[in-house]
């Protein structure tokens, strides 16, 4: 525990304002996660294009009285009872505090880095070692420059082992993480393509990751990667006092892997350690899980954990779910499934996600007993009670003896139900009604909440469209960083390019974008009914939608005199004035909009129409992504400027100007004006390789194999015998067809799908509900997952083979394909 003055001393600064000296227990960098205001210290860490200073006053009103700010903050006068520390760099101050806190404890610490598998190895080590140690670990993937100090802050005198992740995306980052984590044992997992854009090559990436282990006693890694083996060998030569332990198939490895035998969903591992033969079994069959398990085995052997205990606990290794999912539920519900891990930090994250959902008026939480306790049970559950009350939960269904014993602590929640175990709830399930609500399931794996999830989810066929909300946020942050002070309108028309409506809009609203744009009034109405409050521009306005436009405060695009006149008359009849409109100009697209010859009449109409107020004036670029059309793009900008200047003479230049789309944001920064319109780029698609490398593909379309059969050479597959075989082939039928949005043009070898690491070509014509693919030479079974497009095989690849553009593929995905939203 530290007082505010203790922290000022650690940071070597004198508080600028300190009427009180509060005891600080919690560090906060995200204002949404406030739980205990009186013992919280808030750090104003700014993000791309967004200052954290405005959150200080809001937190002060909620009871926070301790802040660390930089010199850009000028609001102390309005927070007279708060204590302030002013530093040059707030992130640096947070890390400095974490460093000092870490030094207070002499416990052994395992530091984990790598490209893939960090979180899985961390969670498995926790599972394998928590019987022998009191463990403190990184919550979820808290491995960044901000996540690591928040993880380190959890350490207290009860802990006997720390397990922390360290993630980097560019050079010169790891030194700071090393100074906070101070690992005594280092673990490096596999090296892959993740976050590769910040490095010249894989060698530079490994060198940077190895910097985490400065000062460690030992380093553990898998030696089957020749580049990693070479780099670790060089590192060991430079650090002769460090013990290097490796696993792999070479005889000189510390843990020599003699054989791995996969049968069904399990793998038997036969290996040798210090001349002794060891045998282990894990409940996984994939290569990545076997590698992660071997890393964990090597760590446990180094820590002198008996072989019998290792074998026993490996047999029960859990699936580490890296994501929180949201799916469509029964009776118009939304179901958020995070029933894989139960700790306070992940509970807070899940409740934050629940709070962002505005599509339903009611919020229900299923919660199990919490097994990963930071402190004693009473302190933990008082914290949980405060957290649920703050998030304004309407109904709590609590499962577990610990929660039942403390049911009175949750009395402020309007409706509560307590059960000793999941089976007891399932017996009572028919008594409950779930409709028009958002439901969060948060529980420890042992409670088996998947049985509840199966009751609450809608049942559809196996094809699903997964939407990675973390990737979407990454892409949004990239563009926000480019824009700085330029406003951002995001296009959510056509069901947000096929990815969903209110689900995506809620994320954008939470990220504080400035505007949304939809194609038709009905789309805007759906967003309003789902609780979206952002300004919404409607691009296709017709008289039949005027009533909804006014009722739901939707702002029309005005592109012709016919629409303008009809809209003004509608407003005039209802005595409405200054209703915001958006004028569309035609600068070369020749689709919709006013041309130069119309501008004088447009100005006259505006001058005589108090019923409307010009909110923005915009136009559409024809080929902003095409270098060969750059001269035409400049010509469009010239016409746009000229027409806007004429309109400004009437309106007083009070409107927003916007011309740039996704490609123009990066290719034509001079055309950003007051606002830009972000569309396909939000979903991870850009034609420029240097931009695409910074984006993440948001959508993955997948299905499963329905049936596999052998078909002889000379026979045919599909309608009209279009798929004639020249050799004996193994043909798989997959559950997706052109009625689901998989283009018929991909038939007869034009398309291919990704199955178990290999590409399988489409055979014959694509059917309405089914497609056949050739899986000859692929280890495929009925029920296996099939990727139509995703990070492994991009939507751009599919569009190219179909002779179209990614827009058409994404927007063509049928509504009967279930959307699953997840947050990593």
In this predicted model, what pLDDT tens digit does every residue of 552-588 receive, in sequence order?
A: 999 999 999 999 999 999 999 999 999 999 999 999 9
**CB–CB of 495/816 below 8 Å?**
no
Distance, CA of 786 to CA of 749 (rounded, Å): 16
pLDDT band at residue 391 using 50, 70 and 90 as cut-offs: confident
Chain segment 49-68, per-residue pLDDT in tens: 678 999 999 999 999 999 99
Distance, CA of 245 to CA of 239 (rounded, Å): 14
786: pLDDT strictly greater than 60: yes
Chain segment 494-518, per-residue pLDDT in tens: 666 666 678 888 889 988 899 999 9
Mean pLDDT of 128-146: 89
Distance, CA of 393 to CA of 386 (rounded, Å): 11
Share of the chain above pLDDT 70, in %: 97
List of residues 6+ apart from 277 with CB closer than 8 A: 258, 270, 271
**CB–CB of 695/742 below 8 Å?**
no
Round the average pLDDT of the chain to a whole number and report it.
91
611: pLDDT strictly greater than 60: yes
Chain segment 99-133, per-residue pLDDT in tens: 999 999 999 999 999 988 898 999 999 999 988 99
Task: Provide the H-helix boundaries in 574-614.
Answer: 599-607
Which pLDDT value is given to residue 338?
83
DSSP state at residue 534: S
- Strand pairing class (362-368; 395-399): parallel
pLDDT band at residue 193 using 50, 70 and 90 as cut-offs: low
Beta bridge partner(s), residue 787 = 702, 754
Which pLDDT value is given to residue 507?
87
Distance, CA of 383 to CA of 390 (rounded, Å): 11
Chain segment 704-734, per-residue pLDDT in tens: 999 999 999 999 999 999 999 999 999 999 9
List of residues 6+ apart from 547 with CB closer than 8 A: none
Q: Which of 134-148, 190-204, 394-408, 434-448 has the lowest mean pLDDT?
A: 190-204
3-state secondary structure of 818: strand
Distance, CA of 549 to CA of 528 (rounded, Å): 11
Question: Per the structure block, which two tokens stand in for 527?
Answer: 């967003």
194: pLDDT strictly greater than 60: no
Residues recognised as catalytic? 493, 719
How many angstroms separate the Cα of 622 from the Cα of each of 586, 591, 629, 634, 663?
Answer: 10, 10, 8, 11, 11
3-state secondary structure of 487: strand
More confident residue, 285 or 738: 738
Share of the chain residues as helix, strand and coil, in percent rounded to the nearest 5: 40, 25, 35
pLDDT band at residue 654 using 50, 70 and 90 as cut-offs: confident
Mean pLDDT of 542-560: 94
408: pLDDT strictly greater than 70: yes
List of residues 6+ apart from 243 with CB closer than 8 A: 217, 218, 219
603: pLDDT strictly greater than 80: yes
The reply to whether the predicted model has a pTM over 0.75 is no
Which pLDDT value is given to residue 199?
86
Q: Is 653 exposed, middle or buried (0-12, 13-18, 19+ CB in 10 A)?
A: exposed
Chain segment 319-360, per-residue pLDDT in tens: 776 667 888 888 889 999 887 666 777 788 788 888 888 889
Chain segment 16-38, per-residue pLDDT in tens: 999 999 999 999 998 878 888 99
Q: Which string of DSSP letters, residue by residue, matches 220-274?
A: EEETTSHHHHHHHHHHHHH-TTSEEEEEESSTTSSEEEEEEEEETTEEEEEEEET
φ, ψ dihedrals at 655, nearest 5°: -95, 160
665: pLDDT strictly greater than 70: yes
Through-space distance between the first and last CA atoms of the chain, rounded to whole angstroms: 31
> 3-state SS string over 288-342?
HHHHHHHHHHHHHHHCCCCHHHHHHHHCCCCCCCCCEEEEEEHHHCEEEEECCCC
């Amino acid at each position: 525990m530290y007082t505010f003055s203790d922290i000022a001393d650690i940071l070597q600064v004198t508080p600028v304002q300190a009427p009180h000296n509060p005891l600080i227990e919690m560090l906060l960098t995200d204002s949404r996660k406030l739980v205990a205001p009186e013992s919280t210290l808030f750090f104003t860490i700014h993000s791309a294009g967004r200052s954290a200073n405005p959150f200080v006053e809001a937190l002060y009103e909620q009871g926070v009285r301790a802040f660390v700010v930089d010199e850009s903050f000028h609001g102390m006068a309005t927070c007279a009872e708060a204590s302030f520390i002013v530093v040059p760099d707030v992130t640096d101050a947070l890390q400095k505090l974490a460093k000092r806190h870490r030094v207070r404890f002499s416990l052994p610490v395992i530091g984990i880095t790598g490209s893939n598998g960090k979180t899985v190895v961390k969670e498995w080590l926790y599972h394998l070692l928590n019987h022998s140690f009191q463990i403190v670990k990184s919550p979820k993937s808290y491995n960044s420059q901000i996540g690591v100090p928040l993880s380190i802050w959890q350490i207290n005198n009860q802990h006997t082992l720390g397990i922390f992740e360290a993630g980097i995306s560019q050079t010169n980052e790891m030194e700071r993480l090393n100074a906070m984590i101070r690992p005594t044992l280092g673990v490096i997992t596999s090296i892959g393509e993740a976050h590769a854009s910040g490095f010249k090559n894989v060698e530079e990436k490994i060198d940077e990751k190895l910097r985490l282990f400065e000062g460690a006693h030992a380093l553990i890694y898998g030696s089957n990667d020749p580049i990693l083996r070479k780099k670790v060998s060089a590192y060991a030569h430079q650090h002769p006092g460090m013990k290097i332990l490796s696993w792999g198939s070479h005889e000189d490895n510390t843990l020599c892997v003699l054989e791995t035998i996969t049968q069904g969903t399990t793998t038997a591992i036969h290996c040798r350690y210090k001349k002794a033969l060891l045998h282990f079994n894990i409940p996984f069959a994939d290569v990545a899980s076997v590698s992660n398990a071997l890393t964990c085995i090597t760590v446990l052997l180094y820590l002198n954990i008996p072989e019998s205990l290792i074998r026993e606990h490996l047999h029960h290794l859990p699936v580490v779910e890296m994501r929180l999912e949201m799916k469509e539920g029964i009776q118009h519900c939304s179901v958020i499934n995070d029933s894989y891990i139960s700790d306070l930090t992940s509970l807070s994250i899940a409740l934050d996600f629940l709070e962002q959902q505005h599509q339903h008026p009611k919020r229900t939480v299923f919660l199990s007993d919490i097994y990963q306790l930071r402190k004693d049970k009473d302190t933990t559950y008082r914290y949980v009670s405060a957290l649920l009350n703050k998030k304004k939960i309407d109904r709590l269904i609590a499962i577990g003896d610990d929660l039942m014993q403390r049911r009175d602590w949750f009395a402020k929640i309007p409706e509560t139900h307590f059960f000793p175990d999941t089976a007891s709830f399932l017996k009572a399930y028919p008594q409950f009604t779930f409709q028009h609500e958002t439901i969060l399931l948060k529980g420890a794996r042992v409670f088996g909440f998947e049985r509840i999830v199966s009751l609450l989810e809608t049942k559809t066929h196996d094809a699903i469209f997964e939407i990675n909300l973390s990737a979407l946020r990454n892409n949004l942050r990239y563009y926000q960083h480019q824009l700085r002070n330029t406003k951002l309108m995001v296009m959510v028309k056509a069901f947000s390019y096929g990815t969903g409506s209110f689900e995506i809009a809620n994320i954008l609203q939470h990220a504080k974008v400035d505007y949304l744009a939809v194609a038709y009034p009905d789309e805007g109405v759906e967003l309003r009914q789902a609780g979206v409050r952002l300004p919404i521009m409607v691009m296709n306005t017709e008289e039949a939608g005027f009533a909804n436009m006014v009722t739901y405060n939707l702002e029309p695009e005005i592109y012709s005199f016919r629409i303008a006149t009809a809209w003004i008359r509608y407003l005039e009849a209802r005595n409405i004035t200054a209703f915001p409109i958006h004028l569309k100009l035609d600068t070369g697209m020749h689709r919709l909009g006013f041309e130069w010859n119309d501008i004088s009449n447009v100005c006259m109409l505006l001058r005589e129409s108090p019923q409307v107020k010009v909110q923005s004036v915009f136009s559409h670029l024809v080929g902003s992504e095409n270098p060969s059309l750059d001269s035409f793009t400049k010509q469009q900008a010239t016409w746009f400027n000229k027409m806007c200047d004429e309109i400004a003479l009437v309106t007083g230049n009070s409107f927003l100007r916007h011309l740039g789309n996704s490609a123009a944001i990066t290719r034509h920064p001079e055309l950003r004006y007051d606002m830009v319109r972000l569309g396909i780029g939000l979903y991870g698609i850009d034609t420029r390789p240097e931009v695409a490398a910074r984006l993440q593909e948001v959508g993955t379309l997948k299905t499963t194999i329905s049936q596999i059969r052998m078909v002889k050479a000379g026979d045919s597959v599909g309608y009209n015998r279009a798929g004639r075989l020249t050799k004996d082939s193994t043909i798989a039928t997959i559950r997706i067809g052109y009625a689901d949005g998989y283009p018929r043009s991909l038939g007869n070898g034009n398309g291919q799908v990704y199955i178990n690491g290999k590409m399988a070509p489409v055979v014959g014509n694509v059917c309405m509900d089914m497609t056949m693919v050739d899986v000859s030479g692929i280890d495929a079974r009925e029920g296996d997952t099939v990727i139509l497009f995703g990070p492994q095989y991009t939507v751009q690849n599919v569009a190219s083979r179909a002779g179209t553009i990614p827009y058409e593929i994404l927007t063509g995905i049928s509504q009967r394909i279930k959307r699953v939203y997840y947050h990593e």
